Amino acid sequence: MKTLKVRLKQHTPLIHFQHDQYGATLRASEVKPKLDRFILTKIGNGYYDAGVNTAKNKTWLIGKGEHPALDYKLRIKSSDKKQEYLIASYLSQRNKDTLENRGINVIDQSPFFAQEKENSEIVRGSKSWNDIKAKGIICQDIIVDIYSVHEDLVNGILSEYIQSFFAFENFGMRQDKGFGCFTVESIFVRGLDEEKQIPLKLVEQLFKDNFLIRYKKVLTDNSLSSAFSTISNDYRLLKSGKNKPYAKSKLMLYGLKRNQRWEKKFFKEYIDEIYQKEDGTYYKLKSFHNEDKNGLDEDEDFYYLRALLGLANQYEFLLSNPPSDNKKMIVSIKSDDVERFKSPIIFKVIDGIVYLLGNQISSEILSKKFYFEVNIQGDSGYKDDRIVEDLYTPDKFDLKKFIDFALTDRTNGASLNYIKF
């Protein structure tokens, strides 16, 4: 039996729901399916199904290959030394000071919004730090052991691609926004009578080997809060635009150049002052920049552009005349064609550098139909009220051209300041 022993370095926290367990670290149940798919795609020269056939012919699959999984066992362990973080999208300086005075490490202004209520309870002291649902965890001395009776699978395939795999993937929640970033520190192949060390590649060379889109930004502040604040702000500018200071979405601007009007303008036309209150007046959105008013003729088509950078569950709009203290109109996003689609852009944080990486967009999100349902908080008369028009995603989209445009555009004085490598 051959063994591959891989030592990892963790660069950013893994958002962990089992943080209280001994040795809480990467989960083999997440790593192995991803590693299998990565390896099978590599040996299939970019085609997963071709890789499955190759692996089947070499008897590398478990069973008869009806559920393609490579025939090896994987175990992950780490030392009990770990750093824990409270991760928030926003905390006041006063609240950060309160937490840090209690010895709680804080990452704020991050793209993680899932437990803001719990974070507030921790600040107030109404909930114990150890009772929080999810913590950010950075572990030490992480070892991945891979065992297989197939020596050629370990020697020729896993040992060759394991470093690229960890350069290609992040892990856990919000992985595309830089959480759960690891690199390989050493690789050893062990047999009965020998042990050999596999040479390592530089991480930027690994990125060049695995990503078509490659940009980086060197941070002046090496803190994790600075890194995740950078990622949050930059991704928002790419996809949705910013309010303070105001800057138009790079995706919206790119769409205008291609005669594609984005869905935010569609919502303006189909939900603002459309839904009637009991007193006969209409619900009005609190604020809405008319971003593309000079961009297109009125007969041009709308497209659901933001779906191309990852599907959201809903959009929320503040109302200027709400029915009660509840102030939002919520638009749910539905599709019979697409259940989920993660962002094709991935961020990594390594040694004070934020990397923006990606490959061309999958065809599974192109030319897909979406419909939208409206709910108004505090008004039960509008529940899952379907907007009369549906939207499609474009039939083609070049992610590389979009990123190249976005990182050179200076509209509203908003630039992203990444360097191509």
Hey, where are the domains in the chain? 2-81+140-208, 226-420
CA distance 115 to 89: 9
| CA distances, 76 to each of 130, 139, 150, 173, 337 (Å) | 24, 12, 20, 18, 37
Distant-in-sequence, close-in-space partners of 126: CB < 8 Å, separation ≥ 6 = none
| Residues 71-114 pLDDT 10s | 999 999 998 889 999 999 999 999 999 999 999 999 999 999 88
Q: For residue 18, what pLDDT is reported?
A: 67
So what's the pLDDT on residue 22?
58
| Helices assigned H by DSSP within 149-199 | 151-152, 159-168
pLDDT at 114: 84
What pLDDT does residue 270 have? 93
- Taking the model in full, what pTM does it have? 0.92
- pLDDT band at residue 327, thresholds of 50, 70 and 90? confident
More reliable by pLDDT, 193 or 206: 206
- Provide the CA 293 distance to its chain's centre, in angstroms: 31
Q: Which two tokens stand for residue 357?
A: 């990486």
**pLDDT tens track for 290-319:** 555 554 455 568 999 999 999 999 999 999
Separation CA 33–CA 48 (nearest Å): 13
Burial of 80 (0-12, 13-18, 19+ CB in 10 A): exposed
**Integer Cα distance of 393 and 306 in angstroms:** 9
Separation between Cα atoms, residue 196 and residue 115, nearest integer Å = 45
